[in-house]
C-alpha cells in the first residue's frame, strides 16, 4: 500500500503557493482602485472529534475586505484523523470500520463590491482514505451575467482540461451544472465552470498526472478571474443593480448552507467554523 504522506506534503506546498499568488494578485487589484486593503491571516488547529486521541493538523484562513473585494476568503488546510462513524460511509473509500483520512486543499470565495463584477468560487484538494484522490473545480457567480465573461471563464478551464485531462471538459462542465443548482429555487447559482471529484491515484504515476491537472486548474483560475475583475471594475452601477446583487447573494447563501458538500465536510471533520462559513456573503437580502 502506497504511503501518501510525502505526496500530501507536496500537494500542500502547491496549495500554499497558489494561495500566495492569488492573494498577491487580489491585493494588486485593490491598489489599482486606491485601496490599501490586505489579507489578514488567522491560523487554526483542528479540533479532535469524540474518540480521537488528539487534534491533527489545521490551516490558515485569509480574509480581505476592500474597495474591489467586498469580502474575499482564501483558506488552506491540511488535516487528518477519523471521520465520525455516521459520516464515514458517505465519504469515498471510508467506512465506519475504516474511517481514517487525511485532506489538504485550498478553498476560495470572493464577493465583489461592484454588482457588475462576478463573485467566484474555487477549490482543489487531495484526500486519502482507503483510496487517494483529487477533486475540485471553479464556478463563476455573476449577479449580472455577461456572455463575454462566461465564455472566457469556460474557455480557460476547457484549456486546463485539454492539457491535464483530455476529453474531460464536457463531463466536468455538466457535473458543475448539476452540482451548483438550487433545487428549491429551480435555478443555478451562477453560470457554471467545472467540477471534478474522485480522480483516483492507484500509483505514483497516476498521482503525478492528477496533480498536474489540479495545478492546471489552479493556474487557469489565477489567469482568468483577475482579467474579468479588471474588465468590469470601473462600470457604474445603480441602486437597482445593488438590490439585484444582494438578492442573488441570498441564493448563494442558501446553496452553501443547505447543499454544499464542502460545508458539511468541514463541519463533520472538526474544521474551523469561521473558515468553513467564510463563503457566506457580507450582506444579502431575502424578499
> What are the residue numbers of the active site?
121
Q: What are the grid coordinates assigned to 99, written together?
A: 474511517
Beta carbons of 273 and 77 less than 8 angstroms apart? no
Please tell me what DSSP assigns to residue 189: S
**Reduced 3-state DSSP string for 248-267:** HHHHHHHHHHHCCHHHHHHH
279: DSSP letter? G
Integer Cα distance of 210 and 164 in angstroms: 8
Helix or strand holding residue 191 (H, E):
none
Phi, psi of 276 (to 5 degrees): -65, -40
Give the count of beta carbons closer than 10 Å to the beta carbon of residue 58.
17
DSSP SS3 for 100: strand
**Starting at the edge strand that comes first in sequence, how are the strands of the sheet with 192-200 ordered?**
40-45, 57-64, 69-82, 100-112, 119-128, 132-141, 192-200
DSSP string, 38-97: --EEEEEEPPPPTT-SS--EEEEEEEE--SSEEEEEEEEEEEEEE--HHHHTTSTT--SS
Amino acid at each position: 500500500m502506497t504511503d501518501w504522506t510525502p505526496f500530501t506534503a507536496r500537494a500542500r506546498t502547491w496549495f500554499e503557493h497558489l494561495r500566495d499568488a492569488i492573494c498577491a494578485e487580489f491585493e494588486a487589484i485593490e491598489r489599482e482602485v486606491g485601496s490599501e486593503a490586505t489579507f489578514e491571516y488567522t491560523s487554526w488547529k483542528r479540533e479532535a472529534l469524540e474518540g480521537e486521541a488528539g487534534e491533527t493538523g489545521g490551516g490558515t484562513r485569509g480574509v480581505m475586505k476592500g474597495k474591489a473585494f467586498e469580502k474575499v476568503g482564501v483558506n488552506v488546510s491540511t488535516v487528518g484523523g477519523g471521520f465520525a462513524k455516521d459520516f464515514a460511509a458517505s465519504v469515498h473509500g471510508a467506512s465506519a470500520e475504516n474511517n481514517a483520512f487525511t485532506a489538504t486543499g485550498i478553498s476560495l470565495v470572493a464577493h465583489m463590491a461592484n454588482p457588475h463584477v462576478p463573485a467566484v468560487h474555487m477549490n482543489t484538494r487531495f484526500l486519502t482514505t482507503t483510496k487517494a484522490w483529487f477533486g475540485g473545480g471553479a464556478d463563476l457567480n455573476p449577479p449580472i451575467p455577461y456572455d463575454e465573461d462566461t465564455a472566457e471563464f469556460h474557455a480557460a478551464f476547457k484549456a486546463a482540461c485539454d492539457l491535464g485531462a483530455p476529453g474531460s471538459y464536457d463531463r466536468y462542465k455538466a457535473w458543475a451544472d448539476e452540482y451548483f443548482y438550487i433545487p428549491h429555487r429551480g435555478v443555478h447559482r451562477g453560470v457554471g465552470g467545472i467540477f471534478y471529484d474522485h480522480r483516483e491515484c492507484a500509483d505514483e504515476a497516476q498521482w503525478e498526472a492528477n496533480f498536474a491537472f489540479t495545478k492546471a486548474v489552479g493556474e487557469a483560475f489565477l489567469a482568468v478571474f483577475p482579467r474579468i475583475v479588471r474588465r468590469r471594475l470601473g462600470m457604474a452601477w445603480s441602486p437597482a443593480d445593488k438590490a439585484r446583487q444582494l438578492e442573488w447573494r441570498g441564493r448563494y447563501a442558501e446553496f452553501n448552507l443547505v447543499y454544499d458538500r464542502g460545508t458539511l465536510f468541514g463541519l463533520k471533520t472538526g474544521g474551523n467554523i469561521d473558515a468553513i462559513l467564510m463563503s457566506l456573503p457580507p450582506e444579502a437580502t431575502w424578499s
